[in-house]
Amino acid sequence: MDSDNQFVAQEVNGGIRTIAETLERLIFSQKILGSLLGAGLVRPCHVFHVDLDEIEEVDHLVDVFRPAHRKHKRLAPVCHVIVCPDCTLLPRPPPLLTQSAEQSVTVSPTSPSKPTTQQPPVFCVELKPKQGFLSMGHQHCPFCLNQFLKRKHGKIQLLSQYCPLDLFSGSRMRMLKAIIALTRTPQNNLRIFQDGNLVFAEECQSNLMAVLQQWFQVDDTSDRTLLLKHFCTLVMDALTMEICDGTDASLDQTVDDVKEAKESQEDWNRLIKEERSDHSLPCLPPQARIRKTGPTIATSLPSRSVLCRLLRVQSLGDVDFGRLYDAYDALVCRFRDGSVPYETMRWTHPHTGTVDWLLSQEKTTNQTMDDVRLVQRYRISSTTRDCSIMIAFQRLANDSVKDTTEFSFAGSEHLPILRDLSGQRYKCHASVVDLDPKPVTCVEKHRRRNQAMNEAFWLSNSSSSHSLTNRLPPKV
């Protein structure tokens, strides 16, 4: 975690992670984000010992699957690994145990359920939604501004049609628009898996209709938009479904329910044909803004949905950037002169590593602790602005669930049942992954990136007359 921090003692050579750092990453995802997002969305991982020759063998085997721009990546030569559940598959429920068998059988409820030949395939949608709010005083979200920087550096050819503010808006039409946009320009923000195998991504877009036909098995194959309707509405319903796991953190709030609505054919025709032609135009803000008085938000998203939970935690980073940069610079000076130990920034710290302390709005007389809290909250937000949502779906036989059933219990695992436009039922499960903590230096990294994004935007639109409020964030 701190191997790239210049103000920390260089005990980690070449970015090799120690076992203590690895355990700290797990504590962060389970203890901090598991509390904030809900344990049902953060699946447990475990650390195991391995031999170095096994690491080398795995590194060789996975190299063929790495995309070209990640061929330089290598597994660190360490003797431990993190074993995570395969979130592209549904979790396997524990068997019903009798009292006599309970002591002799141990089954992990998070083990993936590998489909057999008799079972319908499991399709999984991976979404990297990015920042879902518009910072005060800004007209463009970071994702849309970053498109100009990526194009300048040659990482993309086309600007994305997607805007995160549409997905997090709570408006059915805007959310559907966002999902359709992702199917057109997926970049690294949309991927689809079938039984754990990647079948649609930026590098294999031509497969989409074939994948969706196998998924939804519609009779009318002449209407290509019908498959998109099924896909977009099912994904939207999964993103807005209420997830009840009994582990919600203290970020709860009252929200308006999403109103049921069915889009007309005219609405769909407009959505399918609509394209974002002028990326210099400001992003459309959500229907309701995040309140500036704390981590509570007002939104039309259902309060227990994965999108709303993610947005609540992201909003911890909706801060005054000038104040954030001052806090960061002050902490760097204190770390370097030794007046404040870097241990204060560790997620294992008994005081500063607790959710209650991180969420507290109380101002103290200790400016350094206020700086620590501000930077730590930004780090948490940064992780959730760069994470992925994994939603696994599996078709149910028509007679497997009664007509009136909305939810099913699979052992102790509560799996929602969603219906597509034709009424077909699907078991589904949502998880949030890629929850590694960002280093303290992410503040400096983002400060430089934000300046570069602004410059790329203005360079691309130098002939246009736009307000200076397009800058994100203000230069300090």
**Tokens representing residue 375 in the block:** 């930077």
Note the pLDDT of residue 256: 39
Instruction: Give SS3 for 344.
Output: helix
DSSP states of 242-254: ----S---TT---
Q: Which domain holds residue 203?
A: 1-45+84-92+117-476
Residue 58 lies in a domain: no
What is the mean predicted confidence (pLDDT) over 450-473?
Answer: 72
Local confidence band at 20 (pLDDT 50, 70, 90 cut-offs)? confident
Choice between 6 and 212, residue whose per-residue pLDDT is larger: 212
- Amino acid at residue number 165: L
Identity (one letter) of the amino acid at 461?
A: N
Confidence of residue 467 (pLDDT cuts 50, 70, 90): very low
Which pLDDT band holds residue 329 (cuts at 50, 70, 90)? very high
What's the average model confidence in pLDDT over 418-426? 95
Q: Return the pLDDT at 207.
A: 85
E-state strands within 214-328: none
In the predicted model, what is the mean pLDDT of residues 20-36?
91
Of 48-57, 244-253, 382-391, the range with the lowest mean pLDDT is: 244-253
Q: Quick count: other Cβ atoms within 10 Å of Cβ 320? A: 16
Please tell me the least confidently modeled range out of 102-116, 140-154, 271-285, 378-392. 102-116
| pLDDT tens profile 4-18 | 444 433 333 345 567
pLDDT value for 255: 36
The region of weakest confidence among 92-96, 359-363, 417-421, 464-468 is 464-468
**Where is mean pLDDT largest: 85-94, 274-283, 375-384?**
375-384
Residue with the larger pLDDT of the pair 23 and 179 = 179
Percent of the residues in the chain that have a pLDDT greater than 70, as a whole number: 78
* Inside any domain, residue 65: no
172 in a structural domain: yes
Residue 419 to residue 392: CA distance in whole angstroms? 14
The per-residue pLDDT for 399 is 55
Read off the pTM.
0.84
Q: Is residue 335 part of a domain?
A: yes
Q: What's the Cα-to-Cα distance from 292 to each of 136, 188, 368, 383, rounded to whole Å?
A: 9, 31, 22, 20
Q: Which residue has the higher pLDDT, 147 or 295?
A: 147
Residue 94 pLDDT grade (very low, low, confident, very high; cuts 50, 70, 90): low
Give the mean pLDDT of the chain: 82
Is residue 57 assigned to a domain?
Answer: no
Buried-exposed string 142-177: b where 16+ CB fall within 10 A, e elsewhere: bbbbbbbbbbbeeebeebbbbbbbbbbbbbbebbbb
Helix, strand, coil percent content, the chain, rounded in steps of 5: 40, 10, 50
Average pLDDT over residues 225-248: 87
The residue whose two tokens read 């408006």 is: 171
pLDDT band at 286 (very low <50, low <70, confident <90, very high): confident
The tens digit of pLDDT for each residue in 431-455 reads 999 999 999 999 999 999 999 999 9
pLDDT of 287: 66
Is residue 69 domain-resident? no
74 within domain boundaries: no
Band (473; pLDDT cuts 50, 70, 90): low
For residue 283, is it within any domain? yes
Q: What is the pLDDT of residue 253?
A: 37
The reported pLDDT for the residue numbered 300 is 85
Count: domains in the chain = 1
